[in-house]
Amino acid sequence: MIAPDFAGVEEQMWIWLFAMIRPGAMMMAAPIFSATSIPIQLRLILSLAIGMAGVSSGTLDLPIDNIISLEGFLFVAGEVLVGVAIGFALQIGYSASFVAGEVISNAMGLGFAMMIDPQTGRSTPVLGNFLSIVATLLLLAMDGHLMLIAILVNSYTILPPGDAFMSAASIHGLVNFGGTLFAMGLVIALPVGSAIILVQVIMAMLARSAPSLNLFAVGLPVALLGGLLLLAISAPIMANGIMHALQDGLGQSALIAGGQ
């Protein structure tokens, strides 16, 4: 027999457990939160804190037959889908910096230079890694991580747990936004990439006019020096492009959280 003072503890624990699903799924896909350097214990604590705040602002009706049922499975599937979609929308805007780094690296001849990305733990081009760090700092500077948490908490009101299934418009909007990833990356890389291509064209003209000129011995250093100089000059413009991509990602996350 359960003591009267502990009669509602089990139900409250289940509510908190189900409330943690959506924030936990968001942290699996969102930048910064999904970094391999973030301990699992910290993610669980953040998921519980965000889930408790979300439940207090909305409603949560537990499945009648608990989690081991069709209703419980649909409950968990809906929460996971919404959480991953909200985090993945911001991840798309964040990944534009990787695309820009890939384009600039190939133009400069640094496509072979790889480094370990601290976010994913995988090998990425040097400039892609550099721009991803810049994107992380800009996201933190603009309080993007707090904005994402606020968007997730607000989603509990519009998409209450148990009825949190994405509409066809939300899925279509997320797919279309994913298609703009390469466009955003090219916009970020345009100031440097276009200038380096012009340098490559000039070097090709020189090689054509002077066949004895060793293009590999001269062209690569020129492209590297020109690329580094252009990166220093166009850094403010590229930072603005990265911030616009992050803002677009947060906007798409807000649309998903609003059921649009």
Q: Per residue in 80-127, pLDDT tens?
A: 888 889 999 999 999 888 888 888 888 777 766 666 666 666 667 778
Whether residue 253 has pLDDT greater than 70: yes
Q: What is the pLDDT of residue 3?
A: 45
Please report, for the chain, the start and end positions of each structural domain, with discontinuous segments joined by +. 4-186+246-257
Whether residue 59 has pLDDT greater than 70: no
Going by pLDDT thresholds of 50, 70 and 90, the confidence category of residue 244 is: very high
pTM: 0.82
Q: Is residue 82 a contact partner of residue 159, using CB atoms and an 8 Å limit?
A: yes
Q: What is the pLDDT of residue 194?
A: 82
Mean model confidence pLDDT for the chain = 80
Percentage of residues in the chain having pLDDT higher than 70 = 82
Largest CA distance in the chain: 94
Q: Is residue 222 a contact partner of residue 207, using CB atoms and an 8 Å limit?
A: no
Concatenated DSSP letters for 146-215? HHHHHHHHHHHHHS-TTS----HHHHHHHHHHHHTHHHHHHHHHHHHHHHHHHHHHHHHHHHHH-TTS-H
Whether residue 251 has pLDDT greater than 70: yes
101 vs 259 pLDDT, higher one: 101
Q: Rounded to 5 degrees, what are φ and ψ at 163?
A: -135, 30
In whole angstroms, how far apart are CA 42 and each of 25, 47, 51, 118, 182? 14, 8, 14, 17, 33
As a whole number of angstroms, the distance between CA 137 and CA 117 comes to 15
Stated as kind and residue range, the H or E segment containing 127 is helix 126-141
CA end-to-end distance (rounded Å), the chain: 47
As a whole number of angstroms, the distance between CA 193 and CA 207 comes to 21
Q: What is the pLDDT of residue 214?
A: 66
In whole angstroms, how far apart are CA 258 and each of 136, 149, 255? 25, 14, 5
Q: Is residue 72 a contact partner of residue 226, using CB atoms and an 8 Å limit?
A: no
Q: What is the pLDDT of residue 170?
A: 83
- Find the mean pLDDT for residues 200-214: 73
User: What residue type is assigned to position 116 of the chain?
Assistant: I
As a whole number of angstroms, the distance between CA 255 and CA 180 comes to 16
Whether residue 71 has pLDDT greater than 80: no
Per-residue pLDDT of 1-56, as tens digits, reads 344 555 566 677 777 777 888 888 888 888 888 887 788 888 888 888 888 888 77
Concatenated DSSP letters for 54-118? HHHHS-----TT-SSSHHHHHHHHHHHHHHHHHHHHHHHHHHHHHHHHHHHHHHHT-TT-EEE-T
- From 127-136, 180-189, 214-223, the region with the lowest mean pLDDT: 214-223
